[in-house]
Structure 1
Amino acid sequence: MAQTPRPTHPLSIDEAWAFTAGQAASTTFFFDFDGVLSPVTDDPDASQPAPAVLGVLERLAGVVNRVAIVSARPVSFLRSRFSSLERVDLYGLYGLEVWHEGDVVTNPAALPWVPAMSDLAEQAKAELPGSILVEYKRLSVALHYRTAPAEAATVERWGHEQAERLGLRVQGGRMVVELKPPVDQDKGMVITEGVRDAGCAWYFGDDMSDIKAFDALRAREAVDPSFFGVAVAVANPETGAEVSSAADLTLDSPDAVAEFLRQGLERF
């Protein structure tokens, strides 16, 4: 039987699902967590997957080659939310940590930065306004100003000053400034490696760091005419316009992601 031709961009949902169903054995689905599988919350520790997400990811993992979550959250957090999923790989801290087949692997280049990040988190709590939520992630520190948007400039300035002082990298996001070790690792690099042997891959994202993942799908298509990548944005009032402009499709919410996957699974 002749192979289904790779769809061209811009593409229709029907085209995307039809090709994916025909290439299921070589397809990977990648998902960001916050804003994609879970609604964004004022308190990051309160975030939970949307109600239908766990079931639909388990079903998806049963019919495609691989399902993975690629997040700024630590693997320990992701494990606490997805412990019931046996066939889903977890990439934490933009890929600095990886959970695969029961083991956590940490990028050794990042480990020496653990003490500095701990100190930085304490410094942030002491120097920034009390309305700023400081999230210590062992290998990064996130400064959330969602509940205090008027402090955005203060947080941005403080974050960049500390990054310059310590030689850190700054990752902007949805009402958050994150400080990371100067280690070459981002979501785009995760996807570049993850699609090396894939015939098809989807990435679902909602924030600025996810655009690098979209770009990785495009780069793979450029060098492999048989590869097909689908970039899906999830709408939001902060970074939605820029992320959607880089995507093939846009969905309204984490609940819409779950329903979109449920409908797509009917094609398999």
Structure 2
Amino acid sequence: MSAGTVTAEQAARALVDRMKEVALCLDFDGTLSPVVDDPEAARPLRGVVELLGPLASRFAAVAIVSGRPAAYLGEHVAAPGVRYLGLYGLQEMHDGRIRVDPRLEEARPTVAAAAEALRESDAVHDSGAWLEDKEYAVAVHTRRIPDRERWADRIDRAARRIADRYGLELIPGKMVWELRPLVRSDKGDAVRRVVDESGARIVVVVGDDLGDLPAFAALTELAAEGHDVLRVAVRSEEAPPQLLAAADLVLQGPDEVLEFLRRLVV
């Protein structure tokens, strides 16, 4: 499945034929949920959640892999058997229990201090940007700012300055800057863990953002190790060109993701 471009129908048929070997790793924002101005208002597209439980009972693994906290994912995409890997895999909720990388716990005071510095910065305060408290990370969102292009450079400089001051990593995304501890983990690491722990031989990643590029890269490595892989990009006005170029299959927004998932439920 990794060689060349496939259609959604062809990909779904191949996955159903070997469903017990498949690990399905799904992004949340822009993939299962339409992009909205208020990140707190993001919810999965109607009909998505009802499909995930049946898929989890048939596939080797179904995981939601996101920069969101695991508890948020577990609350809003609740389905039996699904794994929720939040904060790019540093936090996981499975069967109602949350597991956190201990290095994150140690860094919580530093993240809180950085959040306060962001809150007091002129760029964030004057622009009206929204700060998202992720408990183990903090993110600055500009999606709901009417003149966000005017403020983007100033917020970028402020976020970088504060990240450097507190020794945090800065992860830019679509109209968002996330500051998090320098604890190595990305979506590629999370996908590998799902594959290792499930024993899957076929790995599917569906995503739409810069944060999904490491997951696509992990699939390239897994393919070299003998796994069958499928890189699915979700197109939007904000989807990075490199993600679309690397994809084996491109879907047109969450609506087509929903239809793709429906093809997998037999």
**Normalising to structure 1: TM-score of the pair?**
0.91
C-alpha displacement of 1:55: 1.3
Amino acid of the residue matched to residue 183 of structure 1?
A: V
C-alpha displacement of 1:16: 2.4
2:68 alignment partner, one of 45, 64, 73: 73
2:24 matched to which residue of 1? 29
1:131 matched to which residue of 2? 128
2:164 matched to which residue of 1? 164
**Aligned 8 A contact 1:121 1:135 in 2:** no
**Aligned 8 A contact 1:25 1:65 in 2:** yes
Measure, in 2, the Cα distance between the counterparts of 1:179 and 1:7. 34
Measure, in 1, the Cα distance between the counterparts of 2:72 and 2:153. 29
2:116 alignment partner, one of 117, 122, 128: 122
Going from structure 1 to structure 2, the CA distance change for 1:113 and 1:230 (only over 3 Å counts) comes to same
Q: Determine if the alignment matches structure 1 residue 57 to structure 2 residue 59.
A: no
1:145 alignment partner, one of 137, 142, 145: 142
1:47 matched to which residue of 2? 42
2:220 alignment partner, one of 190, 193, 218: 218
Amino acid of the residue matched to residue 82 of structure 2?
A: V
**Structure 1, gaps ≥5 residues long:** 1-5
Going from structure 1 to structure 2, the CA distance change for 1:139 and 1:23 (only over 3 Å counts) comes to same
2:84 alignment partner, one of 90, 93, 99: 90
1:167-210 superposed Cα distances (whole Å, 9 cap, x missing partner): 11111111111111000111011112222321111111111010
**Structure 2, gaps ≥5 residues long:** none
Amino acid of the residue matched to residue 208 of structure 1?
A: L
**Aligned 8 A contact 2:163 2:169 in 1:** yes
Measure, in 1, the Cα distance between the counterparts of 2:200 and 2:28. 22
Alignment: residue pair count: 258
1:201 matched to which residue of 2? 203
C-alpha displacement of 1:44: 1.1
- Give matches, 1:223-242, under 5 Å: 223-224=225-226, 227-242=227-242
Measure, in 1, the Cα distance between the counterparts of 2:218 and 2:77. 26
Amino acid of the residue matched to residue 123 of structure 1?
A: A
Percentage identity across aligned positions?
A: 34
When the two chains are superposed, the root-mean-square deviation of aligned CA atoms in Å is 1.6
Q: Determine if the alignment matches structure 1 residue 13 to structure 2 residue 15.
A: no
1:79-105 superposed Cα distances (whole Å, 9 cap, x missing partner): 22023x111000011111011233210
Measure, in 1, the Cα distance between the counterparts of 2:111 and 2:16. 44
2:181 matched to which residue of 1? 181
Amino acid of the residue matched to residue 203 of structure 1?
A: V
2:104 matched to which residue of 1? 110
2:249 matched to which residue of 1? 249
**Structure with higher helix content:** 2
**Aligned 8 A contact 1:234 1:240 in 2:** no
Amino acid of the residue matched to residue 208 of structure 2?
A: D
C-alpha displacement of 1:123: 2.0
**Aligned 8 A contact 1:23 1:199 in 2:** no
Measure, in 1, the Cα distance between the counterparts of 2:224 and 2:191. 15
Deviates more, 1:119-128 or 1:37-46: 119-128
1:29-57 superposed Cα distances (whole Å, 9 cap, x missing partner): 11111110101111111111100111122
Measure, in 2, the Cα distance between the counterparts of 1:22 and 1:223. 21
**Aligned 8 A contact 2:169 2:181 in 1:** yes
Measure, in 1, the Cα distance between the counterparts of 2:153 and 2:68. 24
Measure, in 2, the Cα distance between the counterparts of 1:241 and 1:207. 10
C-alpha displacement of 1:242: 2.7
Going from structure 1 to structure 2, the CA distance change for 1:89 and 1:187 (only over 3 Å counts) comes to same
**Aligned 8 A contact 1:91 1:97 in 2:** yes
**Aligned 8 A contact 1:52 1:255 in 2:** no
